[in-house]
Amino acid sequence: MADFTEDQIIRYSRHIVLPQVGGKGQKKIRESKVLLIGAGGLGSPAGYYLAAAGVGRLGIVDQDEVDLSNLQRQILHRTADIGRPKTHSARDRIIELNPDVEVVPYQTSLTSDNVMEIIEDYDLVVNGCDNFPTRYLLNDACVLADKTIVDGSIFVFEGQATVFKPHVGPCYRCLYPEPPPPGMVPSCQEAGVLGVLPGIIGSIQAMEALKLILEIGEPLIGRLLLYDALATEFRILKIRRDPDCPVCGDNPTITELIDYEEFCGLRPARC
Amino acid sequence: MLTDRDRERYSRQILMDRLGEEGQERLKSSTVGVFGCGGLGTITSLYFAAAGVGRLVLVDSQKPDLSNLNRQVLHWEKDVTEGVSKAESAKYKLSNFNRDIVVEAHTAMVTEDNIEEFFGETDMVVDCLDNFESRLLLNRFCIETGRPMVYAAVHGFYGQLTSIIPGKTPCLRCIFPESPPPEPFFPIIGVTPGVLGLLEATETIKNIVGLPGTLRGELLIVDLLSYEMGKVKTGFDNQCSVCGKWRK
Ligand SMILES: [Zn+2]
Ligand SMILES: [Zn+2]
């Protein structure tokens, strides 16, 4: 613990006394670099708890500005932040909470041109961006660069979380090899959602990231956690790597990044 | 009545068939007590403010210290330096987060004699405490005044949660006839109260809006290391010193 200040030892003392963490674990947390994709409903609680835990560097990718209708679930942003870039208000909030964390904002969308360069500097990617183009692009990039994704998604009352660790467990394409053709996506209208649901899934994503950093517990590699907020039920489904997967399979056919079009064409990709 | 601003602000949840404008109005007209502004209370109150619960009553006797900051996301380093109380610190952040709601802060030791002053006007109270003595005080108050409460407790990577509805479900004393020994410096990772606090907020919102599937007579056990989550049925204790006579 020699290289932690006295204040830092007090700040993280409740972790340090856990046998699964200890001084060594806290050092691993401090040396970790985590990239958050999206400072929205999932990224907000994940960002808060990763920062509170003391991760060394937190990168935040988001292209949007804060809108009034975001505030029902995106707790990194306040009323006064409306109209500001989300990565800026996220950075301000995280630094207020824990100035030890180095926050790197990327106020941009992910594209085949920038994704490899952005993920390169990070150990882990926490994906809070639930749209097809970003999901496929990020998945392929992380398989090619051998980066683990902690994935989360929500729909109305249901949430899911899993970990895609390349070549150890399945990737997103093992489950869904190709995006659906544009005409098959029924509607791109934003669906209703209770703010607490992305709250729970985003917090679980932070937990998974910490478990991977600390190498403790049973992370969700090859397992899909399902949460039904209406029934208050958690279930686990086993998911497998597909040897014929076009990107992580034994004979991959995808060796370059693909920019998929946003299907509905009405609005840009959103987190 | 919802304003146009409310309709815009809460549009994503009003869109839900099971919530709608009616559910949003119920949230707006409700008063929720948050007893404890620590790891559980900071996150529940943040999501209550986000969801548009009209009035929040925050009660805590303490000031934040550095060792709280690994999990109590509404308290920051400057609050520790300035010596602001937890209830006031939370109120300040919540009011900035959502100016359309009313937040009341009480920095006080709650006793049998004064508990009515704080929670007497609430529709529900959320137990965000870290000691069993205060929990029992809240449990008795809620049973005697017919107020629903949501209970959660956390330790390390584990937590548990249930709803207590007076007359309908066992009370906290039925579930825990013996008080666990106090543990002032318990180990905890921040995400654990995060998840449990969010589950408490979900329970509360479901109770207010009238959604099904709340944890009535069931204790949810959460293990964030393995995700072995289970529900345990809770039973009435006929000898219960708190809720026994109220059920007769
Ligand atoms: Zn694959
Ligand atoms: Zn009882």
* Distance separating alpha carbons of residues B27 and B18, to the nearest angstrom: 13
* Mean of pLDDT over chain A: 92
Q: Could you tell me the distance, in angstroms and rounded to a whole number, from the CA of residue A239 to the centre of ligand 1? A: 11
By CA distance, what is A79's nearest residue in B?
B97
Say if residue A187's pLDDT is above 90.
Answer: no
Say if residue A271's pLDDT is above 60.
Answer: no
CATH number of domain containing A120? 3.40.50.720
CA distance A207 to chain B (A): 6
Instruction: Give pLDDT tens digits for A157-179.
Output: 999 999 999 999 999 999 999 88
In the chain, the amino acid numbered B205 is: I
At residue A267 the predicted structure's pLDDT band, cuts being 50, 70 and 90, is very low
Domain presence at residue A217 = yes
- Mean pLDDT score, A129-139: 89
**Number of domain units in chain A:** 1
Global pTM reads: 0.96
By CA distance, what is A221's nearest residue in B?
B226
Residues with CB under 5 A from ligand 2 (ion): B 171, 173-174, 240, 242-243
Domain presence at residue A3 = no
The pLDDT, as a whole number, for residue B63 is 98
Say if residue A32's pLDDT is above 90.
Answer: yes
Provide the 8-state DSSP code for B3.
-
Any chain A CB within 8 A of the CB of B212? yes
Say if residue A74's pLDDT is above 90.
Answer: yes
Domain presence at residue A271 = no
Of residues B12, B190, B222, nearest to A72 (C-beta): B12
CA-based torsion, B57, B61, B65, B69: positive or negative = negative
Instruction: Give pLDDT tens digits for B135-189.
Output: 999 999 999 999 999 999 999 999 999 999 999 999 999 999 999 888 878 899 9
SS (H, E, C) chain A: CCCCCHHHHHHCHHHHCCCCCHHHHHHHHHHCEEEEECCCCCHHHHHHHHHHHCCCEEEEECCCECCHHHCCCCCCCCHHHCCCEHHHHHHHHHHHHCCCCEEEEECCCCCCCCHHHHHHCCCEEEECCCCHHHHHHHHHHHHHHCCEEEEEEEEECEEEEEEECCCCCCCHHHHCCCCCCHHHCCCCCCCCECCHHHHHHHHHHHHHHHHHHHCCCCCCECEEEEEECCCCEEEEEECCCCCCCCCCCCCCCCCCCCCCCCCCCCCCCCC
**Number of domain units in chain B:** 1
CB–CB contact A53 B77 (8 Å) = no
The pLDDT, as a whole number, for residue B135 is 97
At residue A132 the predicted structure's pLDDT band, cuts being 50, 70 and 90, is confident
CB–CB contact A196 B198 (8 Å) = yes
Q: For residue A190, give its domain range.
A: 9-263
Q: Could you tell me the distance, in angstroms and rounded to a whole number, from the CA of residue B237 to the centre of ligand 2? A: 6
Any chain A CB within 8 A of the CB of B78? yes
Position of tokens 């870290």?
B130
Q: Tell me the chain A residues in contact with residue B16 when contact means C-beta distances shorter than 8 Å.
A: 156, 192-194
CA-based torsion, B198, B201, B207, B208: positive or negative = negative
Contact in structure between B175 and B136 (CB atoms under 8 Å)? no
At residue A192 the predicted structure's pLDDT band, cuts being 50, 70 and 90, is confident
CATH number of domain containing B89? 3.40.50.720
- Could you say which ligand is closest to the alpha carbon of residue A239? 1
pLDDT tens series, chain B, 248 aa: 999 999 999 999 999 999 999 999 999 999 999 999 999 999 999 999 999 999 999 999 999 999 999 999 999 999 999 999 999 999 999 999 999 999 999 999 999 999 999 999 999 999 999 999 999 999 999 999 999 999 999 999 999 999 999 999 999 999 999 998 888 788 999 999 999 999 999 999 999 999 999 999 999 999 999 999 999 999 999 999 999 876 65
ipTM over 0.90: yes
At residue A185 the predicted structure's pLDDT band, cuts being 50, 70 and 90, is low
| A50 CB burial (10 A radius; 0-12, 13-18, 19+) | buried
Instruction: Give pLDDT tens digits for A87-98.
Output: 999 999 999 999
Q: For residue B202, give its domain range.
A: 4-247
CA distance A52 to chain B (A): 5
The pLDDT, as a whole number, for residue A145 is 98
Instruction: Give pLDDT tens digits for B199-212.
Output: 999 999 999 999 99
At residue A67 the predicted structure's pLDDT band, cuts being 50, 70 and 90, is very high
B199 three-state secondary structure: helix
